[in-house]
Chains A and B, each alone.
Chain A
Amino acid sequence: GDSVTQMEGPVTLSEEAFLTINCTYTATGYPSLFWYVQYPGEGLQLLLKATKADDKGSNKGFEATYRKETTSFHLEKGSVQVSDSAVYFCALSDPRTYKYIFGTGTRLKVLA
């Protein structure tokens, strides 16, 4: 079945460091891909999305490119801030059923 694999956390960075969180997927069709962010005590918030191969999603300085050839959707940010500390989830959406498959989440901690 479909699946999403994320790098294990926690990831600890200093402020202004470069961030990469790896995400790979397996899917039989052509899923949409998403990154969600979860702050403590809150629900998941959509960070960015991509719906087809080579699409680049971007928001608040975060970017991710839908790479069909490597089945990847890595999240990047050039300069992280303390306020980016949260848990980040990669997810795919099955285009037939609309069901989401989430990765296990990666906790990011940014130190001042």
Chain B
Amino acid sequence: DAGVIQSPRHEVTEMGQEVTLRCKPISGHDYLFWYRQTMMRGLELLIYFNNNVPIDDSGMPEDRFSAKMPNASFSTLKIQPSEPRDSAVYFCASSREGNQPQHFGDGTRLSIL
């Protein structure tokens, strides 16, 4: 089975630009999670979905961040406008059920200049 697929793998853009990160979860997985990883703060959960519905977005840092899951096989994380402090590696993960292990994608390394 294919794992969690994220795109792009790397993104470099200038401050103020809109950034869209994409994720395709493992087929049949009902839960999808977005994380951010930085040296200073480690791994932080931003938001998670169950059956395409956002359940908890308390980790989203501010209104510049938004996430959607229009169907079971696709999710986006959008930052608008982007700032240098948003530079990080963003991971998407999915699980079959809430109490099952999460499977991670390879991440998107985002650099905001």
List the interface of chain A (C-beta within 8 A of B).
32, 34, 36, 41-46, 49, 51, 89, 93, 95, 97-100, 102-105
Q: Give 19 pairs: A residue, B residue, CB < 8 Å, sorted on A.
A: A32-B99, A43-B4, A43-B93, A43-B104, A44-B43, A44-B104, A46-B102, A49-B101, A51-B99, A95-B99, A97-B56, A98-B31, A98-B95, A99-B56, A102-B42, A102-B43, A104-B42, A105-B42, A105-B43
In the complex, what's the smallest C-beta–C-beta distance from B52 to chain A, in angstroms? 16
User: Dominant SS at the B interface?
Assistant: strand
B78 within 8 A of A: no
**CA of A91 to CA of B48, assembled, Å:** 17
**CA of A98 to CA of B98, assembled, Å:** 5
List the interface of chain B (C-beta within 8 A of A).
4, 31, 33, 42-43, 45, 48, 56, 91, 93, 95, 98-99, 101-107
Contacting pair B104 A45 (CB below 8 A)? yes
Q: 3 smallest A-B Cβ distances: which pairs?
A: A98-B98, A43-B104, A102-B43
In the complex, what's the smallest C-beta–C-beta distance from B33 to chain A, in angstroms? 8
Contacting pair B56 A46 (CB below 8 A)? no
For A48, give the chain B residue with the smallest CB separation.
B101
For A6, give the chain B residue with the smallest CB separation.
B42
In the complex, besides A51-B99, A104-B42, 6 extra interface pairs with C-beta distance below 8 angstroms are A41-B106, A43-B105, A46-B102, A89-B43, A98-B31, A100-B33
Known A-B contacts A89-B43, A98-B31, A102-B43; the reply to A43 vs B101 at CB < 8 A is no
Residues of A within 8 A of B45 (CB): 99-100
Contacting pair B42 A44 (CB below 8 A)? no
In the complex, what's the smallest C-beta–C-beta distance from B56 to chain A, in angstroms? 7
Residues of A within 8 A of B98 (CB): 98
Residues of A within 8 A of B56 (CB): 97, 99
In the complex, what's the smallest C-beta–C-beta distance from A66 to chain B, in angstroms? 15
In the complex, what's the smallest C-beta–C-beta distance from A94 to chain B, in angstroms? 10
- Of the residues A32, A43, A100, A102, contact of B106 by C-beta under 8 Å: A43
Residues of B within 8 A of A51 (CB): 99
